[in-house]
Amino acid sequence: MASLPALSLFFAAVVVGTSAIKIADMEQGAEFTKCLNITDWETKTLADDITLSDRLANGCCPAGALPGHKFYTAYKSPQIVCGFKADGTVKVSITSGTNAKCEYNKCYVDKQNLACADDSKQLLNGCCAKTTGANTGFPATCNNYHYKGQSTGVNGDKIVYCTTYHKNYGTKGRAGTTKKDDDQAGGKLVPANIDTYATCDGSTGGAAGSSAGTTTSVTNGVDRAVLSVVGLFAIAVARTML
């Protein structure tokens, strides 16, 4: 019969080995200080597991990774945006070559979680999986621009990203405020205050588990299926102790 300390070690090993990282689990507007894999950027939704890495000593991301993308003025940008300075202005500075250096300024999570035309969810790069150009992949009232082959800077990596706005932006009016000093507060981004064209309908704020597809549902970073196995194991052990 297994001892209680042994059981504790078993449970701890299972929990540690199945932790997951999802942008959906982060607070809306939270500061983002890591780098994410470009493949994840272009294929994953808020609710999918992603791979993060640390920035290098020069402030840049490793090859094959990026910190998000510079906020595109007046449009909703990808779901991780960079460039925010303390005064509310947006700037990214990248120096390539022997003395490569990156200053992304503040990067933040801006969860939009828009529905796509095929009922899937918006990707981290702001596009839908079926976005191939301007005004593709999203519902009819959601317009988009599609940027392909954009350079991330020092590593020569190329990425794809999209910006979005409501088709009827002229009649709906602008979103946010014209002030810049209210775009950030308490160390977080305040997306609702950023001045943009009218935003697309249907944003859910990036609730966890809203992604379509085969992503495994996670509770507190632990896979439900693993918890089920652990539960069965615990029951079996308990029976041997009766």
State the burial class of residue 65 (Cβ atoms within 10 Å of its Cβ: 0-12, 13-18, 19+).
buried
First to last CA, the chain: 11
Asked if 6 and 31 sit in the same domain, the reply is no
Q: Are 94 and 154 in contact (CB under 8 A)?
A: yes
Judged by DSSP in three states, 196 sits in: strand
Number of residues assigned to the chain: 242
Same domain, 61 and 117: yes
The verdict on 131 and 193 lying in the same domain is yes
Global pTM reads 0.77
Calculate the CA 233 to chain-centre distance. Answer: 35
The conformation of residue 67, written as its DSSP 8-state character, comes to S
Q: Positive or negative CA dihedral for 91, 142, 109, 193?
A: positive
Q: How many structural domains compose the chain?
A: 2
Q: What parts of the chain have a pLDDT lower than 70?
A: 1-20, 204-242
What is residue 214's predicted lDDT score, i.e. its pLDDT? Answer: 31
**Do residues 160 and 74 share a domain?**
yes
Is residue 150 located within the same domain as residue 78? yes
Residues 208 and 231 in one domain: no
Q: Which of 172, 208, 192 is nearest to 76 (CA)?
A: 192
- What is the sign of the dihedral through the CA atoms of 202, 203, 207 and 208? positive
On whether both 3 and 34 belong to a single domain, the answer is: no
Q: Are residues 11 and 125 in the same domain?
A: no
pLDDT of 58 reads 95
CA dist 39 to 35, 66, 132, 158, Å? 12, 10, 16, 11
Q: Given this model, what pLDDT does residue 204 score?
A: 61
One domain for residues 50 and 15: no
94 and 194 in a single domain? The answer is yes
**Same domain flag for 71 and 106:** yes
- In angstroms, the CA 66 to CA 62 distance is 8
Do 95 and 14 have their domain in common? no
Can you give the residue range of the structural domain that contains 129? 22-216
Here the tokens at position 3 are: 């001892």
**Ramachandran category for residue 119: left, alpha or beta (phi over 0 → left; psi -120 to 50 → alpha):** left
